[in-house]
Amino acid sequence: MTDDIYDDGTPDESGQTTGKPQKKQDSASASPAADAASGPAPDAAPDAANGVTVIAVQTGAQDDPEQVAPDQAAPGKTAGIEVAVSAPPRAGDDARALDFDGLSGPDADNPGGSESSETPEGPELPVLPDELPVLPVRDVVVFNYMILPLFVGREKSVQAVDAALNGSRYLMICTQRDESVDDPAPEDLHPTGTVVMIMRMLKMPDNRLKVLVQGISRARVESFGVGDGYLTARVETLPEPELGPPTVEQEAMMRAAREQSEKILSLRGIATSDIMAVLNSVDDPGRLADLIAANLRMKVSDAQAILECTDPDARLRLVNEQLVKEVEVASMQAKIQSMAREGMDKAQKDYFLREQMKAIRRELGESGNEDEELEDLTRALERSGLPREVRKEADKQLRRLASMHPDSSEATVVRTYLEWLAELPWAKLSRDRLDINKAKVILDEDHLGLAKVKDRILEYLSVRKLNPKSKGPILCFAGPPGVGKTSLGRSIARAMGRKFQRISLGGMRDEAEIRGHRRTYIGAMPGRIVQSLKQLGTRNPVLMLDEIDKIGSDFRGDPSSALLEVLDPEQNFSFSDHYLNVPFDLSKVMFICTANQLDTIPPPLRDRMEVISIPGYTMQEKLAIARRYLLPRQAKENGLSPREVTVPDALIERIITGYTREAGLRNLEREIGSLCRKVARRKAEGEKGPFRVTPRMLEKLLGAPRFIDEEKEAELLPGVALGLAWTPYGGEVLHVEVTPMKGKGGVTMTGQLGDVMKESAQAAISYARSRAEQLGIEPDFSEKLDLHIHVPAGATPKDGPSAGVTMVTALLSAITGKPVRSDLCMTGEITLRGRVLPVGGIKEKILAGVARGMQHVIIPRQNVKDLEDIPADLLRRIQVHPVAHIDDLLPLAFPKE
């Protein structure tokens, strides 16, 4: 026995694949499916979701004399196709079209029955018993060779199926005249029906049956009888008449039927190629009529009329009439659907979707009261203290929001805009703490040194205290990385009692980051400044615009130009963000900018700011900061107490000189942190503190020193001079080397020099040639010698107007053969007349000279004013020599023996 109704896509005994497994049908009833060919393939199952029955149809050759068993198809003689027919479900049927997963029952392995195991081919019919059990069905008319799964539920019907299975396996299926009758009598049944053979049967747990039947022949009931609890009938089979070759009229009707069928399939959007191949392979008018009728949407009365028609030609005419009606109905249905699709505009679709969303929200318990949301938003706007102009715009948007559907996309944009207006601090101000003495204490606690910067901050606070309405300037802290520019802004906010926010401008290229996006864009939002004010919740915070020198520009706009309005006290009281589109007062905000260098800041933007230079820290300042701030902080971050690790001052100085070379403190803090981590590991391994770092331990813990003062030589070779350069990271000491060679006056410059330094070298050569006699060199040296000017560290680009005096000194040293003092460094630009011009970065350069152990430094005389910014203890460690002309420099560079 087998539990399979029909094949699941695997080859059967003949090697053919008869079909795919169908979905289970749970509806009350379905329209029949037909197989007009000789080889049955029980692959029929209605689709409950859309009322369409999918039927696998196989056809064999018409002239094949062999009979084909129900479970086996002749190889090479079949063609499989799925035909879709309508199947509107109805409740209370005795026989219902169903698919099922397995079968059980008597003789499941012998579906052919006891009297015949073959399916008739052509007019030949099996031998039938004298009486057959009657199975009443409703809403279904079974045609010849039609394979149909039925669900049998009524007791009489179950007994009729059992009787057929116990006997010949043949049933007489008759359709009820009245579908509502639950216990039909003989007069309630149509006398003409179909003899079917039971191919499969499955018993359900509730004694109901699932059976798979195949139509064998039309039959007419001669008389009804009563069996053991079920109806029986003596039947007369109605065989199909034998026909010869089709006549012209028959061929015309068959072609018309095929064309109408193809048109119906096209209107319903069903693929027609395989189905039309099946219809074209049937040449018998009667079979073609039965095949089409089994899959045609008809009333039961019309289908019964076709079943009762025994003349093939007349039956095909009836089918053609039904096809014409169905074509008209399908065409009108397609036209109505097209008109309905065209007539439904976007608003109707949106309304339908919104109503669905409402229903879903109600089911989920998420539905809210839109009126309450509007009231809450109105109250929030009233509490926010909007200015009159802004309140007017907010009321306008509120009225628009009230007239919109709450789920529309535009309503979401307006609601978000109003929420931004309500949450911005239009009237919220922090109370300034203008105690100058306390502010001084806070600044001294957070930062060591930086006296000029602290004085300027205290001046700003003093003016604010005396004149609260004053428009303070925009401060810009300029200096190398790690000197405390950002932390200064945080200390200012703490001293004033204001909130602090840092906005990084590095790499910003989109103007909308400052001004915001317009609300017409998807994902629009205000600029970074308005966002910061919303987060802080106050209109007078301290906003630090970090890295203002690293702003870029591209096709999205120029952020530096947008900052002109933000940083101008005469304009920012009515700053307009593109998203808000209403003025916002930024005059109460204290803006502080930071930059590493001023050259890359656009001049109009730089003009808006007051620049305060923070050049860097001296050795003493670094030592004090490391002792007071860095070492305790790193000890705490690494799980140590300040008392557990002890680093002498001498070792901190060695770390500063041998492991770092910077104007700020970042690398120094990293090295101290590395030192604390090594000590923390020793503590974690079980050693007990306190731990004292000794000179022997320093190299073991931090490795060999990274910077060695190789340039501190007892004597310099002729042609070498030490210059001073400024970089964004502090000052540096540069070697300038000049080598004369026999030649014809050629000049070679290496070391990746910029145009300004090349011009300084040319000016030095021209000055030396013009003053050859006074300088004690041969006047024609430029014709006999080639000069090679080189600045080491060629991988680093070098440029700037402060190398002129160094070039002249190195050139004269190379030509005369006299070495320059090894403890002397210099900076300054020269003219062709020998004048020494002022340069910038004096403090950074002197700091670099002191760090390298220089004893003397030459600076332009006009830079003497810059010495005021240099601590006195630093000036005591190096002697400064101001010069105004090269003649003043030469005695210092070449001292007499």
**Distance, CA of 637 to CA of 625 (rounded, Å):** 17
**pLDDT for residue 376 is more than 80:** yes
pLDDT digits (tens, 9 = 90+) for 727-782: 766 778 888 999 998 888 888 988 888 888 888 888 888 888 888 888 878 877 87
pLDDT digits (tens, 9 = 90+) for 27-53: 233 333 333 333 333 333 333 333 333
Asked if 752 and 796 touch (Cβ cutoff 8 Å), the reply is yes
Structural tokens at position 293: 């009728």
More confident residue, 31 or 856: 856
The helix (run of H) or strand (run of E) holding residue 217 is: strand 209-226
**pLDDT for residue 128 is more than 90:** no
How would residue 58 be classed by pLDDT, with cut points 50, 70 and 90?
very low
**pLDDT for residue 405 is more than 80:** no
The mean pLDDT of 173-185, rounded to a whole number, is 90
More confident residue, 717 or 779: 717
**What would the DSSP string read from start to end of 310-336?**
--HHHHHHHHHHHHHHHHHHHHHHHHH
Length of the chain: 897
Q: Structure pTM?
A: 0.54
Residue 795: predicted pLDDT: 55
162 φ, ψ (degrees, to nearest 5): -60, -40
DSSP label of 764: H
Tell me, yes or no, if 845 is annotated catalytic. Answer: yes
pLDDT digits (tens, 9 = 90+) for 615-637: 778 778 888 899 999 999 999 99
Among 363-372, 397-406, 596-605, 882-891, the range scoring the smallest mean pLDDT is: 363-372
253-263 burial: b if 16+ Cβ within 10 Å, else e: bbebbbebbbb
Tell me, yes or no, if 454 is annotated catalytic. Answer: no
**Distance, CA of 125 to CA of 121 (rounded, Å):** 8
The mean pLDDT of 368-394, rounded to a whole number, is 84
Residue 794: predicted pLDDT: 59
List for the chain the helix, strand, coil content (%; round to 5).
Answer: 40, 20, 40
pLDDT > 90 fraction of the chain, expressed in percent and rounded: 20
Judged by DSSP in three states, 691 sits in: strand
Give Cα 234 distance to the centre of its chain: 75
**pLDDT for residue 704 is more than 80:** yes
Q: Is 87 exposed, middle or buried (0-12, 13-18, 19+ CB in 10 A)?
A: buried
Residue 206: predicted pLDDT: 81
How would residue 579 be classed by pLDDT, with cut points 50, 70 and 90?
very high
User: Between β-strands 95-97 and 132-137, what pairing exists: parallel, antiparallel or unpaired?
Assistant: unpaired
| 3 state SS for 453-515 | HHHHHHHHHHHHHHCCCCCCCEEEEECCCCCCHHHHHHHHHHHHCCCEEEEECCCCCCCHHHH
Among 138-152, 449-463, 700-714, 780-794, the range scoring the smallest mean pLDDT is: 700-714
Judged by DSSP in three states, 142 sits in: coil
**Distance, CA of 121 to CA of 64 (rounded, Å):** 8
Residue 80: predicted pLDDT: 32
The mean pLDDT of 437-455, rounded to a whole number, is 86
Residue 273: predicted pLDDT: 82
Residue 198: predicted pLDDT: 92
Give the gyration radius of the chain's Cα atoms.
51
Residue 344: predicted pLDDT: 63
- Of 168, 802, 813, 822, catalytic: 802
DSSP label of 832: T
The CA distances from residue 682 to 338, 668, 685, in Å, are 83, 22, 5
pLDDT digits (tens, 9 = 90+) for 831-855: 988 899 999 888 888 888 887 888 9
Tokens 């106050």 locate to: 538
Among 57-71, 157-171, 424-438, the range scoring the smallest mean pLDDT is: 57-71
**In DSSP terms, which residues pair with 790 in a beta bridge?**
737, 750
Asked if 111 and 214 touch (Cβ cutoff 8 Å), the reply is no
pLDDT digits (tens, 9 = 90+) for 193-246: 999 999 999 988 887 889 999 998 999 999 999 888 889 999 998 888 887 788
**Distance, CA of 804 to CA of 757 (rounded, Å):** 8
pLDDT digits (tens, 9 = 90+) for 505-552: 988 888 889 999 988 888 889 999 999 999 999 998 999 999 998 888
**Distance, CA of 361 to CA of 70 (rounded, Å):** 54
How would residue 17 be classed by pLDDT, with cut points 50, 70 and 90?
very low
More confident residue, 85 or 819: 819
More confident residue, 276 or 115: 276
The mean pLDDT of 853-868, rounded to a whole number, is 90
Residue 31: predicted pLDDT: 35
Residue 13: predicted pLDDT: 35
Mean pLDDT score across all residues of the chain? 79
Asked if 310 and 218 touch (Cβ cutoff 8 Å), the reply is yes
- Of 77, 210, 622, 845, catalytic: 845
How would residue 22 be classed by pLDDT, with cut points 50, 70 and 90?
very low
Residue 796: predicted pLDDT: 65
Identity of the amino acid at 269: G
Residue 79: predicted pLDDT: 31
pLDDT > 70 fraction of the chain, expressed in percent and rounded: 83
